Amino acid sequence: MQHSPSIATSRTRHTRILALASGKGGTGKTTVAVNLALALNRAGYTVCLLDADFGLSNAEVHLGLPSPANTLENVLFDSLPLEECLVPVRPGFDLLSGSNGVARMAELDVANRKRLVAEFSALSGYDFLILDNSPGISAQVVSLCLATREIILVVNPEASALVDAYALIKVLKENGLWWPPLILVNRCESGVQARQVFTRFQETVEQFLGLKPLFLGAIPQDDAARKISALGKPFVTLRDDLPASQAIMSIAKVLAERLNKDWAKNKPSEFFENVVVRMKQRPDFGLSQIAANSSAPTDDTTQPDVYMELVAVLDKASRLCEKLLENPAYSFVRDRFGLVRLALDNFLLPLDRLRKPRGTMKPRILVLSNHEQMRTMLREIVAEVGYEGEAFAPGHGDFLKFRDTCNLILVSCDRPEALIRSCLLQIPEVPLVLLTGFGSSSLEREFRHRTVAVVPRPFHVNELRDILQSALR
């Protein structure tokens, strides 16, 4: 059903394209997308919300609407006009359900791609096109995000959400991201906490990835808004007096007032053609780099390096398995952690390199990192697992007092490595979990005899939890 934008404008128009994404599910991204679209519409702008979550398209549920009869998939493969898939929400606000259509864009041939471009010209009349992406990392998410200059990353204050958001930014950068993403902190306890979370996250991203994310705003934890959302209704229209509603409307105002010279060039038809081209090229999730690292030569030429041979074999197996997967999300992390689990189960644990917890005391893990933000994040993850965590900057603090009581050392292999090396040599019998950086680390080779797991950054927090639990069980 077609629902033309009702707000007439005499000015020259262009369409702002906002891509909302999150490193993991459960951050409230879809709730934010729906209410942000309504807030912009109430401010006088025409909006089209594209539900691009191919795994669980449910924006209509948050809007209190029935499942749409027609979706983007019908446009792509059934030759249905795009206008017939637009679902009117209110004057000047339409919903377009992506279903599996976005994920299948890469299947289009040249003729159908040209037809797609023509169909999407129908979206040029909107002031804003808002994309609600699938959570996590996939070829679809990466392609949709990189095809626009406005990426809004929805995060929560928890360490897991921040780590996964970092992983998403890293993959985006490896595939061409050079402009700063916008960070929206959702479900924060206060504005102060939101700023603290953002500052720590921004510093980490800038230091390790060379990008400087920008703060878009924060939405407070609001029980009343949460209850309204649970009923399948948007809180910004039902209760605009709620703290969450006020925050959403403030963010909408900030977005409306932001200026960017590239916006005048935005055309939905060209945007989606760019998405198709990117998906056909299959974004890189780091597999090639891991494989290259796996086959690197070692200094020991007298004996075969069993560990590196195992890495190479498992990397090859991972690449074969990936061909069987429709969605390669997180494959760049999965393959390496598969290696870690196999290594732990088959030949690292039998060597009894791990010291068992003494008595009924919680296992203690020492965290070593040159960077305060990383130390804080890793200590939080250790605490979430239920272990005692002590964090130190190499060369600072009396970490030797835990020499006889710690069970594991979690090491972030960031430079300068000399200070870290000195610390590890002072506690020679304690096993290590190494978080490698974005280049080679001499620590991995030097302390291989006592290393139980090598985890490449960006890591997935759930996988790191599993490794820590397996190592000390």
**CATH number of residue 303's parent domain:** 3.40.50.2300
Q: Where would I find the H helices in 355-397?
A: 372-385
Q: How confident is the model at residue 268 (pLDDT cuts 50, 70, 90)?
A: confident
Q: The tokens of 316 are what?
A: 């090859």
Query: Of the given ranges (101-105, 183-187, 250-254, 433-437), which has the lowest mean pLDDT?
Result: 101-105
> Could you tell me if 190 and 43 lie in one domain?
yes
Predicted confidence (pLDDT) at residue 235 exceeds the cutoff of 60: yes
Residue 128 lies in a domain: yes
What average pLDDT score do residues 297-318 get? Answer: 46
Q: The tokens of 295 are what?
A: 């086959």
Residue 430 lies in a domain: yes
* Final residue of a structural domain among 225, 249, 280: 280
Predicted confidence (pLDDT) at residue 433 exceeds the cutoff of 70: yes
Long-range Cβ pairs for the range 437-440 (8 Å, 24+): 437/208, 437/413, 438/208, 440/293, 440/296
> Could you tell me if 131 and 226 lie in one domain?
yes
Rounded Cα–Cα distance for residues 330 and 431 (Å)? 27
> Could you tell me if 261 and 401 lie in one domain?
no
What average pLDDT score do residues 347-373 get? Answer: 60
Residue type, 296: A
Predicted confidence (pLDDT) at residue 69 exceeds the cutoff of 80: yes
Maximal CA-CA distance, the chain: 78
Residue 267 lies in a domain: yes
Which of 305 and 190 is assigned the larger pLDDT? 190
Predicted confidence (pLDDT) at residue 259 exceeds the cutoff of 90: no
Residue 405, pLDDT score: 80
Residue 1 lies in a domain: no
> Could you tell me if 298 and 400 lie in one domain?
yes
Which residue bears the tokens 């086959």? 295
Contacts of 168 (CB under 8 A, 6+ apart): 21, 22, 23, 136, 137, 141, 153
Residue 2 lies in a domain: no
Predicted confidence (pLDDT) at residue 151 exceeds the cutoff of 70: yes
Q: How confident is the model at residue 421 (pLDDT cuts 50, 70, 90)?
A: confident
Residue 359, pLDDT score: 44
Which of 439 and 41 is assigned the larger pLDDT? 41
Residue type, 19: A
Rounded Cα–Cα distance for residues 25 and 433 (Å)? 27
Mean pLDDT, the chain, rounded, equals: 77
Return the sign of the alpha-carbon dihedral for residues 287, 290, 296, 300: negative
Q: How confident is the model at residue 91 (pLDDT cuts 50, 70, 90)?
A: very high
Q: The tokens of 95 are what?
A: 């919903």
User: 287 with 318: CB under 8 angstroms?
Assistant: yes
User: 387 with 468: CB under 8 angstroms?
Assistant: yes
Rounded Cα–Cα distance for residues 200 and 205 (Å)? 9
User: 333 with 435: CB under 8 angstroms?
Assistant: no
Residue 455 lies in a domain: yes
Q: How far is CA 206 from each of CA 67, 160, 173, 200, 245, rounded to the nearest angstrom?
A: 42, 19, 12, 10, 31
Asked if the peptide bond before residue 297 counts as cis, ω within 30 degrees of 0, the response is: no
Residue 127 lies in a domain: yes
Neighbours of 441 (CB within 10 A): 20
**279: phi then psi, degrees, rounded to nearest 5:** -65, -35
Q: How confident is the model at residue 440 (pLDDT cuts 50, 70, 90)?
A: low
> Could you tell me if 371 and 276 lie in one domain?
no
Rounded Cα–Cα distance for residues 426 and 93 (Å)? 64
Residue 288, pLDDT score: 38
3-class DSSP assignment, residue 17: strand
Helix (H) or strand (E) holding 454: strand 451-456
Residue 472, pLDDT score: 72
Q: Which of 374, 388, 355 is nearest to 471 (CA)?
A: 355
> Could you tell me if 144 and 185 lie in one domain?
yes
Predicted confidence (pLDDT) at residue 130 exceeds the cutoff of 70: yes
Predicted confidence (pLDDT) at residue 48 exceeds the cutoff of 90: yes
Total domain count, the chain: 2
> Could you tell me if 256 and 352 lie in one domain?
no
User: 44 with 295: CB under 8 angstroms?
Assistant: no
* Final residue of a structural domain among 253, 280, 307: 280
Share of residues in the chain with pLDDT > 70 (%): 73
Q: How confident is the model at residue 112 (pLDDT cuts 50, 70, 90)?
A: confident
3-class DSSP assignment, residue 250: helix
Which of 129 and 435 is assigned the larger pLDDT? 129
Q: Where would I find the H helices in 121-158?
A: 139-146
> Could you tell me if 136 and 43 lie in one domain?
yes
| Domain interval for residue 248 | 16-280
Neighbours of 429 (CB within 10 A): 9
What average pLDDT score do residues 447-471 get? Answer: 76
Rounded Cα–Cα distance for residues 381 and 159 (Å)? 7
pLDDT 10s digits, 309-322: 554 555 556 555 55
> Could you tell me if 262 and 295 lie in one domain?
no
Q: How confident is the model at residue 364 (pLDDT cuts 50, 70, 90)?
A: confident
> Could you tell me if 394 and 439 lie in one domain?
yes
Neighbours of 256 (CB within 10 A): 15
> Could you tell me if 61 and 87 lie in one domain?
yes
Q: Which of 330, 221, 345, 234 is nearest to 285 (CA)?
A: 330
Q: In this structure, what CATH number is given to the domain that contains residue 276? A: 3.40.50.300
* Final residue of a structural domain among 248, 280, 312: 280
What average pLDDT score do residues 119-144 get? Answer: 88
Q: How far is CA 2 from each of CA 15, 58, 98, rounded to the nearest angstrom?
A: 18, 20, 16
Q: How confident is the model at residue 341 (pLDDT cuts 50, 70, 90)?
A: very low
Q: How confident is the model at residue 346 (pLDDT cuts 50, 70, 90)?
A: very low
Neighbours of 233 (CB within 10 A): 17
Residue 300 lies in a domain: yes
Q: How confident is the model at residue 113 (pLDDT cuts 50, 70, 90)?
A: confident
Query: Of the given ranges (180-194, 253-267, 273-287, 459-473), which has the lowest mean pLDDT?
Result: 273-287
> Could you tell me if 270 and 299 lie in one domain?
no
